[in-house]
Chain A
Amino acid sequence: MSKYVYVTYIRTTPQKLWYALTKPEFQKQYWYGMHQDCDWKKGSSWAMKFTDGRTADAGEILEVDPPRRAVIKWRNEFRPELKAEGFSQCTYEIDPDGDICRLTVTHEIGVENAKLIDAVSGGWPRILSSLKTILEGGEALPRTHSTAA
């Protein structure tokens, strides 16, 4: 079992944070230009798309409770050694406190020393740092709005 947890506190509302996490036009601003195809209903398919339309990651929505919680079944689709590890699970939890939200992202998989978790451990702090900057009124951090791959 491998697990990565990142916690960040953002000056925003749960509704705005949920919107930023789930709407493609918002995702593109802080997720290296990528977006997610999904209707955010339980059992629906979920896919992360590169700017050129290729699928980066895919899976389905296991749980959804807007604007508080979502659980995504998540498999990498473009790096064979990561795809071979199978499905991981990514959980978003939003806890409001006054005019701040605590966002906890937990990404885990039932594989020891998983390469996927190692890879996302480098990505989440960058993506969530840029998301926080935008929601607090700034422009996206440089380069997170275009594909880095």
Chain B
Amino acid sequence: MAGSKFVYVVIIRSTPEKIWEALTKPEFTRQYWAGTTQKSDWKKGSSWAVYTPDGRLWDSGEILEVDYPRKLVLTWRKEPGKFPEMTAEGYSRLTYELTPDPLGIKLTLTHEMDVENSKLIGAVSQGWPSVLSSLKTFLETGTPLENSGKWPEGL
């Protein structure tokens, strides 16, 4: 199938439960994910949304699949506003998979969309490595990477 896809793998010295918590709970995401908050009850069919630190709705979608603490799939669309060309692409799909690995817990993130050369996938490809690097640092050392909890100026 034609489309765009970004895949990132990181091994984290932690437990699947702690990684799941860090990916979904606002008190954790705020610290390493640009100060953002996600709102959802994390049940299949429920809505899901990302809010900026000043309370603006930034991305939203729906939970497609939940298999705690192994797999989470959701749809993801850029909310109308700063990036109309990304919003126009419609819904992408994000999958987190947590699997035991000889080295630790392997987190595989797949962000994909049925659009060739997607601008949204291009943009998130730049963001995910820093978000997940800071997540790993946060879980392994107790503090996230410097400035990773700050929203970018001007956005």
| Residues in A lying within 8 Å of B, measured CB to CB | 6-11, 98-100, 102, 125-126, 129-130, 132-133, 136-138, 141-144, 148
Contact = CB atoms under 8 A, between A and B. Distances in A.
Contacts, number: 62
Contact of A125 (B9, B134, B147): B9
A9 B133 contact: yes
Contacts of B136: 129, 132-133
B103 A129 contact: yes
B55 interface: no
B129 interface: yes
Size category of the B interface is 20 to 34
Main secondary structure of the interface of B (DSSP, over half): mixed
Contacts of B8: 125
A11 B140 CA distance: 12
B146 A141 contact: no
A130 B10 CA distance: 9
A6 B12 CA distance: 16
B140 A143 contact: no
Given A125-B10, A129-B11, A143 B103 contact: yes
Contacts of A129: 10-12, 103-104, 136
B43 interface: no
Contacts of B130: 7, 9, 102
A10 B12 CA distance: 14
Interface in B1-48: 8-13
A99 B103 contact: no
B49 interface: no
A79 B47 CA distance: 49
Given A8-B129, A9-B130, A143-B102, A136 B11 contact: no
A137 B104 contact: no
